[in-house]
Structure 1
Amino acid sequence: MDTLRNQLRSATAAQHERVDAAFSAYRLDQPEGYRAFLQAHAQVLIPLEIELEQAGIETMLDDWPLRCRRQALLADLKALGCAEPPLTPAGMAPSPGWSWGAAYVIEGSRLGGRVLARRVADANPSAPLRYLNHGSATRLWPSFLQKLEQQGSACDWSEVLTGANDTFERFLGAARSNRS
């Protein structure tokens, strides 16, 4: 049986690679590179979390308050002397399927965040790492996957895929526009 996770991973593999490649150009061992990296993430994550909340993500993921990372990201930016990024107003509330696809991308990004946190800490032990380490002491990814399979697989596949693709494209655009 092919899981929704496997279908999403396969269908978005090329986009995932493009996003990883775009962000790999950031010099996380340099303060300015790390700052630009966080600013690029803020450009996408903050409005996306708000958009998902407007769509009712808490009814789909009852532990959403534990998953939400924008406050950690804003705290790291503030610690680095960055102004709070301007918010892009959200459009229409997305469908549940789109929301599951978007959530798949942002929840999956936690896995890479742990690796990046170690790299940043090695280069600069005093760097703020709230965002990259958010949820690292919990089992958020496995519990997300369980909910994705239980609830997300009942949604229209094209909407789930569109949500994932749209989210990867947002991150790709931010990575390319904020590179230092």
Structure 2
Amino acid sequence: MDLSPRRSDLKQATSQAHQALDDLIGAFVTAEDYARYLEGMARFRLPVEAWLATQTLPAGFEDWKPGLYGEELTADLRVLGLAPPDELEAFTPPPGDGLLGLLYVLEGSALGARLLAKRAEAIGFTERNGARHLFAQARNFSNWRAFSDRMENVCVYDERAAAAWADTAFDYARNAFESVLNANRAYRRSVELRP
């Protein structure tokens, strides 16, 4: 598959940050793994979507809207008996005009959602039972294509800023998942140490 020039450049510039996040998420094979994934995704996606709701999209994107899945994600947490996280680290982008880099990460997640939805379904989570956000993303693949087309044609584009914003988004996501994993380890240790 040939990538458009800006997509190709962003993919290359962010490959290490993207791989680090993918490695951290790994493959969920149990309901416990999936619950940790959901909590990490909520810690990433909910603050980013809240921040994004306050922004104006660049010229050329007026008829396009980013895919937002916070409601579905919150519903999925509740299906698993989990409360949405109440203390969330605010998303703060780096300087520069790099919003397209953040959108690249968010919209590109629809590609991974296809695989993750299959994994969730294999352990019993479906569109109607705890994996609503994944199936909504996977179905919204056309939004990724529409974003990609607009990204290539937008007149004002700062390649460095876009890469910095994309890297920041991947790092922010990685930190969100690490916070869940660290909290889980601390909880396990406290249970193991009890007499």
- TM-score of Structure 1 vs Structure 2, range by shorter chain: 0.7 to 0.9
Pair 1:43–1:125, CA change in 2 (3 A): closer
Residue 150 of structure 1 is matched in structure 2 by 153
1:156-175 to 2 correspondence within 5 Å?
Answer: 156-175=158-177
Aligned mates of 2:125, 2:72 — CA distance in 1: 18
Worse overlay, 39-48 or 49-58: 49-58
Aligned mates of 1:32, 1:52 — CA distance in 2: 30
Per the TM alignment, residue 91 of structure 1 is displaced from its structure 2 partner at its CA by: 6.5
Residue 80 of structure 2 is matched in structure 1 by 80
Contact 2:114 2:135 survives alignment (8 Å): yes
Residue 64 of structure 1 is matched in structure 2 by 65
Gap runs ≥5 in structure 2: 185-195
Which digits, 9 at most, give the CA deviation of each residue in 1:54-101, with x for residues without a partner?
122497363326x11111111111111111212536467877832211
More helix by share: 1
1:35-46 to 2 correspondence within 5 Å?
Answer: 35-46=35-46
Per the TM alignment, residue 116 of structure 1 is displaced from its structure 2 partner at its CA by: 1.0
Which digits, 9 at most, give the CA deviation of each residue in 1:109-146, with x for residues without a partner?
11111101111111215542111111433411111101
Contact 1:97 1:157 survives alignment (8 Å): no
Residue 108 of structure 1 is matched in structure 2 by 108
Contact 1:96 1:155 survives alignment (8 Å): no
Worse overlay, 120-129 or 107-116: 120-129
Count of residue pairs the alignment pairs up: 176
Which digits, 9 at most, give the CA deviation of each residue in 1:144-178, with x for residues without a partner?
10111122x62222221111010000111122221
Contact 1:42 1:85 survives alignment (8 Å): yes
Residue 34 of structure 1 is matched in structure 2 by 34
SS of equivalent to 1:136 = helix
Pair 1:175–1:61, CA change in 2 (3 A): farther
TM value normalised by structure 1: 0.85
Aligned mates of 1:162, 1:13 — CA distance in 2: 12
SS of equivalent to 2:138 = coil
Aligned mates of 2:170, 2:117 — CA distance in 1: 21
Which digits, 9 at most, give the CA deviation of each residue in 1:1-37, with x for residues without a partner?
961101000001111111100110x6x2222211110
Pair 1:133–1:20, CA change in 2 (3 A): same
Residue 119 of structure 2 is matched in structure 1 by 119
Note if 1:97 corresponds to 2:97: yes
Task: Give the greater-gyration-radius structure (CA).
Answer: 2
Which AA in structure 2 matches 1:149?
E
Aligned mates of 1:15, 1:29 — CA distance in 2: 24
